[in-house]
Structure 1
């Protein structure tokens, strides 16, 4: 028995060493460990991802602020553009590919301008862009975790897998002992209707680094965007960040049953006749005389609930709040500010992402200590780049002109939106 255990241990060590050497000889070893057991578990929503909405017969998925198309097997940029009535060159430039490029089946292509909205006439179940109230599916009855967006709403996950999309090993729980109960299957979530964050790939970014940035599994990112089996992305490519699905109800924990060790006899149950006799009834005791009231102790000072310091962050723009924070409806605040006025980093940190939507509105994400993120929208003339370190109060851009001109500002703890006024002076 001991020799067998040693042989198994050596085989495991040899396999592990071989994998490490193979990784060192190939691409940079960049594993995503979030799906590898309880030690790296994130949340119930992460384990119950929202599937990508089904496109209409043209391949179009429409959201309020942008549209994308899902390529068919054998599509090229030219055939896709022709089907949607777009100019092939403009579609190619917008997605960072050549006009004659071939597309993978299931690959997501961003549209530079809006086309006719999906409707039953185009094979869609609803008319118009997808919104939380216009998903074409029954509403999710469980408590949906709204964690997902660095620009409005967003993150976690996955599309149903098809033959044209990359194949990944199924996520299965670790083998359990013989005494463990069978695991309960987790139901898939319905589409949430939330508009996903759209990320434009920058130089040097990989599917792994983008998945880590938004705290989503790389597998879900690949399935939503129809990435190839090599998970390759290109500079200028637009990726949809999978939004979170509904958190499933926690399964009931089965009551463990006693297991008799091998070779031991089964315990003999106690016969009913041997049960302890019922206790004799006792007359109720007389009610005791009321005791003298105890002296009231002096109230002790109660420690105040920990709240973020009012001076933890600086106002990112000079102006007044014209739209307040409302979780799930407005995950930040809108600060009315003159067009061209300075937008400043609310706290010291690192520029984690810079993205742009179809209307040219830039979104800047700055990462701070303690898992805090700040998000700045409606910013122009940026003075920082992704990866740059910024100091509190440093100018990062200017307020975009608009009617009204404003800065949309968010604070997130991990991916959960917070009321920014708790952090501002």
Structure 2
């Protein structure tokens, strides 16, 4: 269930200051986009002061979802679910498990002709024939092949961990989504990572949930404690042989002088229009403030009032609006889950849904205290450092 426009706007009005304004801008992009699509993301990490509640999920290790039978059925003692295959509709899933499409769709709050994501889970309103392997029963002896912490990824992705592949016979809690809930809020309330919740329920990259939807909460497993072996006294590496008075000491050998590496070139100052980078700077100025995943999910590029602001790459205008402080915003969708956003601008020359080319003027720089424009790049639901795209 995406964030409501009212809830998002109320939260953004509490934000002040330069870095808080960044959170407001990013939050507005999400909130406004959510009004006309199924975009959903967690913005708490952009606001300083301890608003994050993800610590409990950071260290949680969860089992992998059990495999379904040929029909897609997973059977637990208290309930059953059906897992969609690629291209399935609700009606096709219902036909495969021997159930009326209207009954299955009504129970899950979804139309019978709705196209499902591969791996998406539907709860069954009544039991169907059990899988050949029978009902999954709790098992105290969990077979663990690989245990990995599936903590929520940081913005830069360098600390991302693979999903756990351990399996458990424990019956997962079944949660029904209520109005206003998101995948993030549900994951936090159960102390699991949002990625594990998405994997178990086939939520897809948008992490969209809908009111009335049934979700399986990933089963947590204990990580075995690794104990380091301690060498006994007198054991271990042998002591070096002391120098002998009968043999001369080795001659000192001159250590070659270290040669310092040349300084890295400032690419943002030397880039030319012929660059092969995925994106180009939206204005002709220099980068004056770099991306900071913890404080500011954007870069600032110097610009004077009236300087043309151009599209960083080919794409389609997804949003033309203003943030809570009245700053105009343009968001361009470049495909493959990549979007760019432009702020501290005025005189917008494009409309929502319009196709734009790289280098095409979309607005002009406005007069502001930073003498710059604000430029963001999104990958999926996370703002990322624009510099790799520009370099």
> TM-score, length-normalised on structure 1?
0.41
User: Who wins on radius of gyration, i.e. which is larger?
Assistant: 1
